Structure 1
């Protein structure tokens, strides 16, 4: 799942040179929605009204995060975008603690400082963060909210229906946003291949996998697994996307990854035990 997500950064960045952000996302998630509805046409009908509301809220969060992340990707290298977006791994326990009013330990604060320093090494040009990096950072916050919410609300028996409804909500949001200028479709077989891959594997299957997994894992346990996403993103960007390996990428990315691992390896039993009680 994380490898699929990581592989999309350089693919999406290349595609965004020819297809606008919202148009790409609308087409991608429309294909994912149709594929999932074909496989499980009655899954949404089996959800309770409460679960449907939760899935709609989660879909709106995920859709906003996708728009922010993809828009940011158009203005920053794929490897940098991957590492910054990966800060959701650090932000997830922080937001869970804030929502649950639990104490944040010193190791977590240390990880936040380390991640912030790594972010600075990766992205700071002079004294300010660029537009693309800022969008990616906001996307990381929204992704963290989605992870916390999904950990609170997902149940194994509802995983398929919730996944489909989330994908549909994302599709609707993106299509509505494209209405003023009209939708631009991919033109070449290569572009369509990229869209299909990102729709079916890193879209439909990844959403289903995350929703099902978070029915069994706490948000922090899920986040440590997801911490490999930025590593895969950088690896694919360098190996297949033509990006170079720089000292800034290695040092800054290493600091961010270290912060992710530190914050997730610190025992957080209280948060993990109480996340499932977050109210709608």
Structure 2
């Protein structure tokens, strides 16, 4: 492995760690603000964090390269922002312990949320069937392993599943749709346009989240102040820093390496939940996590 590829793998490893520990920040933030308020502020921060990067990259852009049209960025970013809004909202509500407890429901844990959200890598090739794509044997075996793993992780002995787990699972379907939508919108874009597209989608998601929060949640300065650290991590580190590292790293990383390393996000989510929140997985749940991770990797390596 050459030095550029090694550096890329290290950066992707750091990216996976940042994203994994973000589930802890999302869970902690729910002690102070509602899920929509949390998402609205953090995605607004994320959009702002990417703006200096865009301005810097524009300076080194060839003057002969016009880039994609503003209309394409606005429409595409808006559609992506809508898919992102549903995926992020379902995930965040699923993690909202105090809010769900008030209605008699059980939230998911940071570790569980990481593994369940990671199922989107299995859903993407399966959804490709709707686009006349033909998944390979790895996808089907990976999907089967993921289903069994999901059962062991989330379904109890009396065949019930927590409401939080269910919401995060539905959210994973939107994450898969989001990935497919990116696949339709991003061809032909250079790095600058790709980051612009992401910035627009983050801004759109922030606006939608805050608008819904105004009508459904109590927004207070004290609450936002109390959740300042989790929000800052979710917005600046998870969105701004990690996304930038991913863009830089994947220019030199091998696709198979990138898929494997980024899937470790779910492992870091479980590790962060254990280290910082005292979350403990049963042996049954750990076996389920192992099967889900194997399914994710197989669906990526043999799609």
| TM band (smaller chain) | 0.7 to 0.9
CA-to-aligned-CA distance 1:81-131 (integer Å, 9 cap, x gap): 111111011112222x22431223333222211111100100002223221
CA distance 1:248–1:132, shift in 2 (3 Å):
same
Structural mapping, 1:26-45, within 5 Å: 26-37=40-51, 40=54
Secondary structure in 2 aligned to 1:17? coil
Secondary structure in 2 aligned to 1:194? helix
Counterpart CA distance in 2 for 1:28 and 1:188 is 11
Q: Larger Rg: 1 or 2?
A: 2
Counterpart CA distance in 2 for 1:212 and 1:146 is 21
Equivalent of 1:248 in 284, 292, 295: 284
Give the structure-2-normalised TM-score. 0.78
Partner of 1:128: 160
Partner of 2:230: 194
Secondary structure in 2 aligned to 1:240? helix
**How well do the aligned residues superpose, as a CA RMSD in angstroms?**
2.9
Deviation at 1:77, TM superposition (A): 1.2
Deviation at 1:42, TM superposition (A): 10
Partner of 1:77: 109
Counterpart CA distance in 2 for 1:152 and 1:103 is 17
Partner of 2:150: 119
CA-to-aligned-CA distance 1:134-169 (integer Å, 9 cap, x gap): 111111111112122223322223122112101100
Give the structure-1-normalised TM-score. 0.83
Counterpart CA distance in 2 for 1:104 and 1:19 is 41
Partner of 2:76: 54
CA distance 1:242–1:152, shift in 2 (3 Å):
same
Counterpart CA distance in 2 for 1:2 and 1:8 is 10
**Counterpart contact for 2:34–2:218, Cα < 8 Å:** no
For structure 1, list consecutive stretches of 5 or more residues without a partner in the other structure. 269-280
Partner of 1:170: 205
CA distance 1:227–1:39, shift in 2 (3 Å):
closer
